[in-house]
Amino acid sequence: MTLDATDAVDLDAVDLSDRDFWGRPPAERHAVFDALRRERPFAFFAEPEVPYIPAGPGYYAVTRHADVEAISSQPALFCSGQGAVSIPDMPPELNEFYGSMISMDDPRHAKIRRIVAKTFTPRMLERLVDSVQRIAQEVAAGARRKAEAGDGTIDVVADFAAPVPLWVICDMMGIPAEDRQMVLEKSSIILSGGDPDLIADENEILTQFLEAGGMLSDLMNRLAAERVENPRDDLTTALVNSEVDGEKLTHQEIASFFILLCVAGNETTRTAISQGVLALHEHPDQRARWAADPSFTPTAVEEIVRWVSPVTWMRRTATQDTEVNGRPVQAGDKFLLFYGAANRDPEVFADPHVFDLGRTPNPHVGFGAHGPHFCLGAHLARREIGVAFRTLFDELPDLEVCGEPERLRNSFVNGLKRLPARLTGVR
């Protein structure tokens, strides 16, 4: 597998808006991004077609770490409010409903962020450590039972990587166990990017997407009403009761934030765990190193997030004529910040294509680059990923990937649909 495939990449034939590109093997995609970063750091692409949504003018693919940082850290010049998670401009109502504060600018963004900030601080999360640990152990035990009851195999995604973050976020929100499956299915649809495996008919993308949002929103409204009557020690109660400058969050703001949490809190961590398992399988020396020495966990978690870059991009839109590191920009220009590409920028990372669990420093942008939209759940995700892998080493030490991963054909999340594994201790 050669990554330095400069000669092999014909950049004129590359189209990042083509869904098929995102189904290509990672090495091939990294070679394309290496070439883009080196030769066309602001390559322009036409927008992908989304049924019923008018296509916009196109976008620039930002692939250098320094440019991603420059755009991300100047939110007044490069806004999120025109859409951060979709390439075409969505109708404003949809944009806010599905993106919540991801697709807002200050001051509204700051207002909502402050309300939820406290819940996601490291101090608050310390209390969660035990419950994350317990959840990971329960899920691992369930995976072993499944392997024992069947042919000794499991699906790393469905049987481990997906349930851990789902249970954690549902516990935090106080979502009843019987609603977990629905939350998992609907959040997967919202982030499917129209992957045909999840939405069979392309013309159904929008309706399925709306239905998914509606169901999550209904669940949240039901829970919120319950918590107003009977407050509990959960995030939902904090959301319905919190005030900023004497203002409470509206029902719609709460529902939107809930959708954001479901989607962002599930898919991203699931992807880090499933792709992390695959990376450790492909780098057995690194796996052995971490399994033998828990003190690697902090740097190992950061390296997994760099390596996987679960969220492939976020969008920003120029609010006025300006420049990025000397390159002129016009008001209205759209930029996709390709985090995975920035995370392999040789200007910043020595041997960027080497998976090194001891890497330090590691100024990756896997949780977003500098700026007000830096991942709210970063502390939680770090905790979950660390606990998930230590639990795997302890409870499922005999886990061996035994087949090819099935990748999500989606430009937005670097996800896996399935990753077959065998528990070799099961006979």
Partner 1 sequence: MRIEVDRDLCASTGGCEAFAPDVFEIADDGELVVLRSEPGEADLPDVRNAVQACPTRALRLVG
Residues of this chain that bind partner 1 (CB under 8 A): 73, 110, 113-118, 120-123, 244, 368, 370-372, 374, 376, 378-379
- The CB-of-118 to partner 1 minimum distance in angstroms stands at 5
Give min distance, CB of 15 to partner 1, in A: 32
Least Å distance between CB 123 and partner 1?
6
Nearer to partner 1, 116 or 263 (CB): 116
Reduced to 3 states (helix: H, G, I; strand: E, B; else coil), residue 172 is helix
If the CB atoms of residues 119 and 410 are measured against partner 1, the closer one turns out to be 119
Q: What's the closest the beta carbon of residue 283 comes to partner 1, in angstroms? A: 27
* Nearest distance in Å: CB 382, partner 1: 9
DSSP sequence for 124-167: HHHTTHHHHHHHHHHHHHHHHHHHHHTTSEEEHIIIIITHHHHH
Nearer to partner 1, 25 or 122 (CB): 122
Least distance from partner 1 to the Cβ atom of residue 309, Å: 17
At residue 40, φ and ψ (nearest 5 deg) are -140, 70
Q: Which is nearer to partner 1, 104 or 308 (CB)?
A: 104
Quote the strand ranges of 46-112, DSSP E: 59-62, 78-79
Select 355 or 374, whichever has its Cβ closest to partner 1. 374
Closer CB to partner 1, residue 113 or residue 315?
A: 113
Helix-helix angle 251-282:163-173, to 10 degrees? 150
Q: What distance in Å separates the CA atoms of residue 257 and residue 237, rounded to the nearest whole number?
A: 13
Question: Cα-atom radius of gyration of the chain, to the nearest Å?
Answer: 21
Asked if residue 56 lies in contact with residue 87, where contact means CB atoms within 8 angstroms, the answer is: yes
- The structure tokens listed for 300 are 């190992």
Contacts of 313 (CB under 8 A, 6+ apart): 336, 337, 338, 339, 411, 412
User: Would the CA dihedral through 174, 241, 264, 276 be positive or negative?
Assistant: negative
